[in-house]
Structure 1
Amino acid sequence: MQVNIKTLIDDRQCYETVRELRWPEGCQCPFCDSKRGFNEKKPAKQRYECKDCGKRFDDLTGTIFAGHHQPLKVWILCLYFMGLNLSNRQIAQELYLDRTDVQKMTTQLRESVVKKTTSNPRRRS
């Protein structure tokens, strides 16, 4: 019996972790820093509506994970495999994805890490 690692990762836990890392003081509107909202249809991924500016957003709005067709858990696994120093080909095999999709994902993730590191000088070592 072959087990796909994607089925072992919990969507709810991925979103909870993103929320905890992104908003340690509680959810904030990425547009005006206010708070509000919840999406009953997808309990893992929450949607918000800002009481102040009225704009809608979700847990991933304004992040590297927003607007992509791959689920959050696939991005998290991709990051994990990158940390293990797997090649794009190996990651594609592990996640049952096309190598060109994995190439785009790893490029975006690396560029995001570099951008974050260079924009926050305290993080450099």
Structure 2
Amino acid sequence: MPVNIKTLIDDAQCYGTVRELRWPEGCQCPFCDSKRVIKRGFDEKEPAKQRYECKDCSKRFDDLADTIFAGHHQPLKVWVLCLCFMGLNLSNKQIAKKLDPNRTDVHKMTTQLREGVVKKSHK
């Protein structure tokens, strides 16, 4: 019986991990760096994605704002799996076969992930 690997990854755990890695000292605004932030519910399409509002600059944002994961149609767990498969040296074609998005999507994702890793290592 074939198993869809995407069903084995928990959305809430992916978002929880992003929050812990991104804000180890607690959530802060990506626009003004204020820690005076309040929770403003969850995303309709991705219920594990927390929304926030900054009490200092009044801007609203979510867990993925100002990250390489923001603004894309693929869910966070697909990005996480893509990153894992990249670590296993799978080709874009192999990753697309496992994750089900088309090869063009996978190419864009792997390119962005590689660029993000390079940017992070140069800081």
TM-score by length of structure 1 reads 0.91
Unmatched tracts of structure 2, length 5 or more = none
Aligned position for 1:19:
19
Aligned position for 1:38:
40
d(CA) in 2 for partners of 1:13 and 1:68?
19
Gap change, CA 1:98 and 1:43, over 3 Å in 2: closer
d(CA) in 2 for partners of 1:48 and 1:113?
26
SS in structure 1 at match of 2:61: strand
d(CA) in 2 for partners of 1:59 and 1:100?
26
What's the RMSD between the two structures over aligned residues? 1.2
Aligned position for 2:9:
9
Percent sequence identity is: 77
Quote how far apart the aligned CAs of 1:38 are.
Answer: 3.4
Unmatched tracts of structure 1, length 5 or more = 121-125
Higher strand share: 2
- What is the aligned length? 119
Quote how far apart the aligned CAs of 1:43 are.
Answer: 4.5
d(CA) in 2 for partners of 1:112 and 1:25?
22
d(CA) in 2 for partners of 1:43 and 1:103?
27
SS in structure 2 at match of 1:48: strand
Indicate whether 1:53 and 2:57 are aligned: yes
SS in structure 1 at match of 2:41: coil
Query: Superposition pairs for residues 110-121 of structure 1, below 5 Å?
Result: 110-118=114-122, 120=123
2:108 to 82, 104, 116: 104
Quote how far apart the aligned CAs of 1:53 are.
Answer: 0.7
What stretches of structure 1 move > 4 A for 4+ residues in a row? 40-43
| Aligned amino acid, residue 109 of structure 1 | L
TM-score by length of structure 2 reads 0.92
Aligned position for 2:72:
68
